[in-house]
Every structure is written in C-alpha cells, then in structure tokens.
Amino acid sequence: MSLTELTIADAASGLRARQFSAVELVRAHVDAIDALNPRLNAYITPTREAALKAAQQADEVLARGEARSLTGIPLGIKDLFCTNGVRTTAASNILRNFVPPYESTVTANLLRDGAVFVGKTNLDEFAMGSANITSAFGPVENPWKRNGDDAALVPGGSSGGSAAAVAAGLAMGATGTDTGGSIRQPAAYCGIVGLKPTYGRCSRFGTIAYASSLDQAGPMARSVRDCAIMLQSMAGFDERDSTSVNCDVPDYSAAIGRSLKGLKVGIPAEYRAEGLSAEIGAAWQQGIAWLKAAGCEIVDVSLPHTKYGLATYYIVAPAECSSNLARYDGLRFGERVPGDTLDAMYEATRRAGFGPEVRRRIMMGTYVLSAGYYDAYYLKAQKVRTLIRRDFTEAFQKVDVLLTPTAPTPAFVQGEQSDDPVQMYLNDIFTVPASMAGMPAMSVPVGLGATGLPLGLQLIGRPFDEETLLATGSALEQAAGFTHRPAIRAEAAK
C-alpha cells in the first residue's frame, strides 16, 4: 500500500513501529503534491522544503520515544490560518503577499503535537463561497469525476482545497473552517469526513475572520477516527479568543466504536426539502436503516424554522463580513493601490483587492446594517436565529443526535451555477441551520451515486457533545464501508 493511502491512525502506528520514517511519509505526500497540484490547484503555497525539514525533526523525536499524537503526520492547512513566517492569503489579492509574524492557536496546537505542515490549501476568497471558485489563485478541481465524463467538478467550499487535498492523497488530514457548511459540504462532495465542532470549542485566534459569530475551525480527514485525533489536538480554551469556551476536552478517540444501543436519532421532517436528489434521499433512508440496525431508536422531529435558515444566514454573515473586512484599507497591512486622495486610495485598493463575491457580500452586509434597514433586516434576522437555536434545543430534549443529508446534490460541474448566486447559496441549505445555532455537526461519506460521485450524510449533535457525533459517525462509517478513492490517486502513485 502506498504511504498516501494510510489513515492518520495507521500512519502514527507505523511510525512508532519503525515500518517507515517520517521523512518517507512526508516525502510521499509532497511528491504527490508536485504531481497533482498543478491540475487540482488544492494548494496555494506548498511548503516542500520546510515540511521535509520538519519530518527530519519528527524522526529524531520518534527515535527518542517522545512522539505525540501527530508526530510526523503530514497535514494541509487552510490558507485562512495565520502561520508564522509562511504566506497567508485568505485566497485574496488584498493579502497576496501577507506573511504573518505569529501563529494561530489551532495551528500552534497541531505543531505542539508534532504535525508536519505540507502547505497552505486553497479556498474561496475570505471563505465566501460554496464551490471554491472565488479564489484569487484560481478554482480548485474536485479529484473525483463522473462516470465516463472528464468535466471538472467543484470540490465544494469554502474549504475545497483542504477537501480535495485529503481526497487526492495530498495530505493525511487538513484544517478547515465552517461558517455555514464550509467543512461539511466539501467533505460530502469529496468523499471524506468533515467535522464542525461546537462554536467556541476551537480558538479563532489567528484565523482570518469572515463572520465572527459563526466561524469555527475543524478537522477534515479520511476517517472518523482521524477527525477525532485531529480535534483532540485542535480543541481547547484560549484566553486570546473571547468566544473560546473554557471546558474540558474529552478523549474523542474513546468514543469510536462505542455502543449505540438505545441512542435516539432524530429525523427532521423539514430536511425533506424541494431540490433533494433522489439518490441522496435514498442514501438518507439507508443511513436510517444502518443506525436502526446498530440499536438506535429512530424518532421523527420538527425544526420548523429551518426554512428561514438560509435567508437569515445571508443577512447575519454578510453584515459581520462588512464589519470584519473594513480593516483592509491599504494602510495597515495588505496590498495598497495609490490614489490622488485618501478616499480614492481606499476605493482603488478595495476594488483591486477584493473579488466579485466578496464585494457582493460586503455590499449586502453594509446595506442591512445601514440606517433605516438595521431593524427591518439585521435585528429581525437575529431574532429568527434565536428561534432556530430554540428548535434545536427542543429537539435535543427528545433525541441525542440528528441525521440529515449534508448537501441536496452531489458535486456539480465548474461554472454550472456561477451565474446564479442564489442557486449557489442553496447548496448550503442543510448545513446552515446547525451553524446558526452553534451546534456541532459532521459529514460522513456513505456511498457513491449513480454517476460515481460520493454522497454524504450529516450528523448534528448537542453543544459540546462531539463524542456522540463521533460514536454515531463511526457506526455509519462501518456500516457504509466507504473505501472508494478517486482514480486520480493512481496517477500520483505512478
């Protein structure tokens, strides 16, 4: 078996047993990046030499018997996390040459536990998008193809580069951020596992902000256990983040394989929405059957305000984006375009620095925050957000976890929806409500559709109960037996 086929758990065991070295493991992945990244564009900034140097240090740690959970494991880092001395762009022209002088808390935690970073992964600009086509560094291509069709597919967004890298064997795992589904939807499109923790579980310090009340870092990997290992490292209280919650981080790996007997699984009626493809509906029914066979009790529940989730999200998130991105003015950091006056410099800098989707969301956010519209839009959206959260709270008085589709369809062709922003936004219809409520949620691949593309199901849990998500997700994973890999991985092995 190629080293790029291993899971994080298996690779960690192999390194400790001296079956291969960290240098060999990391070299296999950076060679795969060299071979496939020109086509997939999953990485904005590969860091081959730094990764190999870090791998040598990891081998020294292993030789001393001091290995930690991720020692020598090659990971991709979404280019939204500040990395000390390594370019961090947010996939935007305005930060094209920005090199942070400090490390984000999430990446610092991963480095503390021995991870080796092989590069900064591509994303939608400032994490704004559902298809990874808004990056200033070009779109990411999904490593999967439809049967008998060579058309380039989207990997989902905004963490499409991370999802594509993991699916294609260009990293064993990767960090993502999830604002309205940006970990879960790409995971479903690329046939991997993606976990959005509870809001406040992972620090946002050093993560470039899109919508501060929604953004949450999380792991993306090829197995539920691998996500548990990564989350164990990423999570934890951080006094530098005022939204970080000071609570214990449990042993997530211990939840894998836990008995589900008597677990109550809720099936929300509102997720049987218009636009849900028949094959994803069938996969959902199969997932229900698998969990029932595992000893779960299936309970019908209602989340009546789900239908307002997307509209509410596209008021709240752009409003916060408008505020957060006001700092990019060409004065303090980032690119600057000269102008005859201060206002002209601001306008020229932001016009050249931001892409169309970012400009659209800034305009939407500025509008809903403006005098005369704040009460009509933003304040009302916050009230509806409270009702969405209440729906989940009431549902979790009856059940332990919810099972839904992750996305209404499998991955689609690049350019297929690029001229219709509203249709593009609808790809997040099943992921946005959990984000609005701050709940933990995870996408697990459960099979291939009729065209040979991955299908994912979503689990939503109680706040800070990622353990139940992982236990239920591992049962789904075991029942589905999803071992499919995109054909492109064979090319890297040649």
DSSP 310-337: HHHHHHHHHHHHHHHGGG-SSSSSS---
* Residue 346 resides in a domain: no
User: 158: cis peptide before it, omega within 30°?
Assistant: yes
Q: In which residue are the tokens 């995109």 written?
A: 486
DSSP 96: T
**Residues 6+ away with beta carbon under 8 Å from 119:** 33, 43, 44, 45, 46, 47, 48, 51, 76, 77, 165, 171
Q: Which of 78, 120, 145, 196 is catalytic?
A: 78
Question: 291 by DSSP, 3-state: which?
Answer: helix
**Residues 6+ away with beta carbon under 8 Å from 368:** 315, 318, 319, 374, 377, 378, 381
Within 10 angstroms of residue 26's Cβ, the number of other Cβ atoms is: 27
DSSP 375: I
Per the structure, the complete domain to which residue 78 belongs is given by 3-263+474-493
Contact 141, 38 (CB under 8 A): no
Q: Which residues of 357-373 are buried (b: 16+ CB within 10 A; e: fewer)?
A: bbbebbebbbebbeeee
Show the low-confidence residues of the chain (pLDDT under 70): 417-420, 422, 491-494
Contact 298, 262 (CB under 8 A): no
* Residue 406 resides in a domain: no
Within 10 angstroms of residue 100's Cβ, the number of other Cβ atoms is: 18
Condensed to tens digits (0 to 9), the pLDDT of residues 179-236 reads: 999 999 999 999 999 999 999 999 999 999 999 999 999 999 999 999 999 999 999 9
Question: 13 by DSSP, 3-state: which?
Answer: helix
User: Is 203 in the active site?
Assistant: no
CATH number of the domain within which 134 lies: 3.90.1300.10
The pLDDT value given to residue 255: 98
Structural domains of the chain, count: 1
Tokens of 134: 């808004």
Contact 466, 252 (CB under 8 A): yes
The pLDDT value given to residue 41: 98
* Residue 149 resides in a domain: yes
User: Is 322 in the active site?
Assistant: no
The pLDDT value given to residue 1: 73
Q: Give pTM, 2 decimals.
A: 0.96
The pLDDT value given to residue 84: 98
Give the integer Cα–Cα distance in Å for 413 and 427. 13
User: Is 158 in the active site?
Assistant: yes
Q: Which of 21, 69, 182, 253 is catalytic?
A: 182
Q: Which of 130, 158, 244, 435 is catalytic?
A: 158
Give the integer Cα–Cα distance in Å for 21 and 98. 34
* Residue 212 resides in a domain: yes
Half-sphere exposure of 217 (CA within 13 A, CB side): 33
Tokens of 194: 């993606």
Q: In which residue are the tokens 């549902």 written?
A: 395
* Residue 37 resides in a domain: yes
The pLDDT value given to residue 418: 66
The pLDDT value given to residue 494: 58
* Residue 135 resides in a domain: yes
**Residue 117, phi then psi, degrees to nearest 5:** -90, 125
